[in-house]
Amino acid sequence: MRKLSGILALALIIGASATAAFAAENASAAVTREALDALKASIAVGMDTVWVLFAAFLVFFMNLGFAMVESGLARAKNTVNILAKNFIVFAIASLSFYAIGWGLMFGNGNPFMGLEGLFFVNGADTSPAIGEAYKGAYSAISWTGVPLWAKFFFQLVFAGTAATIVSGAVAERIKFSSFIFFSFILVGIMYPLTGHWIWGGGWLASLGMFDFAGSTVVHSVGGWSALAGVLLLGPRLGKYRADGSVNPIYGHNMSLVTLGGLVLWFGWFGFNPGSTMAVGDGSAIAHVAVTTNTAAAAAILSSTFMSWVIQKKPDLSMIINGALAGLVAITAPCAFVSVGSSAIIGLVAGVLVVLAVMMFDRLKIDDPVGALSVHLVNGIFGTLAVGLFAQDKITGTATGSGLFFGGGLKLLASQAIGVVAVGAFTFVLALVVWYVIRLVMGMRVSREEEIAGLDLGEHGMKAYPDFQGFLTK
Amino acid sequence: MKLIIAVVQPEKLTDVKEALAAAKVGKMTVSSVIGCGAQGGYTESYRGVTTEVNLLDKARFEIAVNDDFVKPAIEAIIKGARTGKIGDGKIFVVPLEQCIRVRTGETGSEAIG
């Protein structure tokens, strides 16, 4: 009893002295309008920064999803290799985007590339000042009021995503060293150049092309780079029979693929809603979260249905790829379309991904994880979907309306030009880079190594050493 | 009747299977086994320390054949599995006392064919 009253007395004393101090402060410094505004501004910057970084951390988490999906869809004998690729790729992205990528993408420059503050993010900068108040080398991204390093980190995790897309498509046959080299070029140079055109105030931005979170900037660029690599690599041994028919090569762990699919879905809530790069009144974030989720859900159902009809039974890998297809497709339009439209976009994406997987197989373009069908095909579709379904200022951005909402063909034309220009540039450049890699350092492991598995050949270790050997049927 | 047991490199499984099919030998049991022979293993590394792996992954074929198929089957296995390097494997041929087809109760050559 005495102890309790002691505590109460202590609390009273502290409370009283705190009130007294507060009163004294109030009396000495009258609260001015300016002080309140400054306080509000600093809270807003803090809120926006927390939001941008939180979203960036979610996008970073997508590395986990990609590692799980890709290793699960590969054979057991290549698990160490694909995990090593997915792990190292973010390290490559971090350094190359810091060294030059950021400057090329967001530096003030001409319509084709950034020129100011090119290396090591060393340009002048007055972030978090925005708009007219901003003075510095990175004006193109001065629309968001967060510190420079928050902008950098958020953009970095996006650049890293583009590189992980390539990893899956070239899996089970590419040399580890060649993949590392290509990733440096992709994140340091290729991705930032086309990124500058669209997000860095370049010529496609001036043309009125819109790509909210990167259906083209991130996913198509990763997809086109992967396609060039796959074409020069050729299919995995055993993928096609002597008569040319397709021989399915099963992934070794569907549980891992499923968990990875859910992780990616979760990470996309950073990818898309985070691309607001500001909290505002919260309405845009909420809108984008729901369009993103709705498209994924619709795509899962349509890909399941398509798989059920075509393959007679619903294939889990198609269901998961359906989710990813819907997410990629809604990435460009998520802030520009209604929730109803996002459902339609998702439905189409789910159908497209199933047909695309089958088409690439028939064309002898061997993509072990379906990265081309998910990221390339639906990256293109999602970008065009802005031109079809956009509703002007639905979350505040003046995009103009798309074809289905009375805007005519203007927006669709800009989107199509963007798709073609970025596609042609990235695909040709990637072909050249891959070709040089093939000439200088070689691209594909030996036949013996491919059959025995890249885990032993490239890394000298196995992912599952305690299990008896896995025979390839 | 003979039972042919062949232990070959696991990566040669497909080639051996195809060669056997070409020789009209279509029935087989294949298991994944580990074992060692003249090849002597290889080294793996883990946390910077190398380990000797001397029990290697192999594919093991069991094929029951009638006498006139022994030679073609052996030739097919060699054709599919041979690289000329140490570790290509071994083939054992043992007499087979009896063979019974579960479904029909047939025995001997009838059951194998």
Q: What is the ipTM of this complex?
A: 0.73
β-strand partners of B63: B4
Residues of A in contact with B11 (CB under 8 A): 448, 451-452, 472
According to DSSP, residue A25 is labeled H
Pair (A16, A47) in one structural domain: no
Residue A30 has pLDDT above 90, yes or no: no
Write out the DSSP string of A255-310: HHHHHHHHHHHHHHHHHTGGGG-S-TTSHHHHHHHHHHHHHHHHHHHHHHHHHHHH
**Which residue is closest to A451 within chain B, CA to CA?**
B11
Per-residue model confidence (pLDDT) at position B36? 83
Task: Give the count of beta carbons closer than 10 Å to the beta carbon of residue A14.
Answer: 10
Pair (A21, A43) in one structural domain: no
Residue A451 has pLDDT above 90, yes or no: no
A91 vs A448, residue with greater confidence? A91
Pair (A176, A309) in one structural domain: yes
Closest CA to A443 of A452, A435, A432, A453: A435
Per-residue model confidence (pLDDT) at position A49? 97
Per-residue model confidence (pLDDT) at position A274? 96
Closest CA to B98 of B2, B23, B28: B2
Of A448, A462, A470, the CB nearest to B32: A470
CB A244 within 8 A of CB A396: no
Distance CA A347, CA A367 (A): 23
Name the residue ranges covered by the structural domains of chain B. 2-112
Pair (A274, A250) in one structural domain: yes
Q: Does domain B2-112 have CATH number 3.40.50.10310?
A: no
User: How do residues A356-372 score in pLDDT, each as one tens digit?
Assistant: 999 999 999 999 999 99
User: How do residues A90-126 score in pLDDT, each as one tens digit?
Assistant: 999 999 999 999 999 999 999 999 999 999 999 999 9
Pair (A41, A127) in one structural domain: yes
Pair (A437, A309) in one structural domain: yes
**Which residue is closest to A463 within chain B, CA to CA?**
B46
Pair (A157, A236) in one structural domain: yes
Domain of A211: which CATH number? Answer: 1.10.3430.10
Residue A472 has pLDDT above 70, yes or no: no
Task: Give the count of beta carbons closer than 10 Å to the beta carbon of residue A393.
Answer: 12
Largest CA distance in chain A: 93
A440 belongs to a structural domain: yes
Distance CA A80, CA A63 (A): 15
Q: Name the domain count of chain A.
A: 2
- CB spacing of B43 vs A460 below 8 angstroms: yes
Sequence-distant (6+) residues with CB within 8 A of A469 are B10, B32, B34, B57, B58
Residue A155 has pLDDT above 80, yes or no: yes
Residue A25 has pLDDT above 90, yes or no: no
Pair (A21, A50) in one structural domain: no
Pair (A314, A255) in one structural domain: yes
Pair (A205, A112) in one structural domain: yes
Residues of A in contact with B19 (CB under 8 A): none
Closest CA to A369 of A65, A156, A60, A90: A65
A299 belongs to a structural domain: yes
Per-residue model confidence (pLDDT) at position A1? 47
User: How do residues B5-63 score in pLDDT, each as one tens digit?
Assistant: 999 998 889 889 999 999 999 999 999 998 888 777 776 677 777 777 778 889 999 99
Q: How much of chain A exceeds pLDDT 70, in percent? A: 92
According to DSSP, residue A246 is labeled B
Task: Give the count of beta carbons closer than 10 Å to the beta carbon of residue B83.
Answer: 13
Tell me whether residue A120 is exposed, middle or buried, using C-beta atoms within 10 angstroms of its C-beta: 0 to 12, 13 to 18, 19 or more. exposed
Per-residue model confidence (pLDDT) at position A5? 59
Of B11, B30, B32, the CB nearest to A468: B32
β-strand partners of A109: A114
CB A363 within 8 A of CB A348: no
A:237-266 residues touching chain B, CB 8 A cutoff? 238
A468 belongs to a structural domain: no
CB-based contact, A466 to chain B, within 8 Å: no
Distance CA A434, CA A70 (A): 21
Residue A136 has pLDDT above 50, yes or no: yes
Q: What is the model's pTM?
A: 0.88
Pair (A17, A60) in one structural domain: no
**Domain ranges, residue A21:** 2-30
B41 vs A17, residue with greater confidence? B41
Pair (A131, A233) in one structural domain: yes
User: How do residues A46-104 score in pLDDT, each as one tens digit?
Assistant: 999 999 999 999 999 999 999 999 999 999 999 999 999 999 999 999 999 999 999 99
Of A238, A448, A456, the CB nearest to B14: A238
Per-residue model confidence (pLDDT) at position B47? 72
Element (H, E) at B60: strand B56-65
A189 belongs to a structural domain: yes
Per-residue model confidence (pLDDT) at position A188? 97
Average pLDDT, chain A: 93
β-strand partners of A322: none
State in Å, rounded, how far the first CA of chain B is from the last one: 11
Return contacts of B84-87, CB within 8 angstroms, 24+ apart.
B86/B38, B86/B39, B86/B40, B87/B9, B87/B37, B87/B38, B87/B39, B87/B56
Of A451, A460, A469, the CB nearest to B44: A460
User: How do residues A277-326 score in pLDDT, each as one tens digit?
Assistant: 999 899 999 999 999 999 999 999 999 999 999 999 999 999 999 999 99
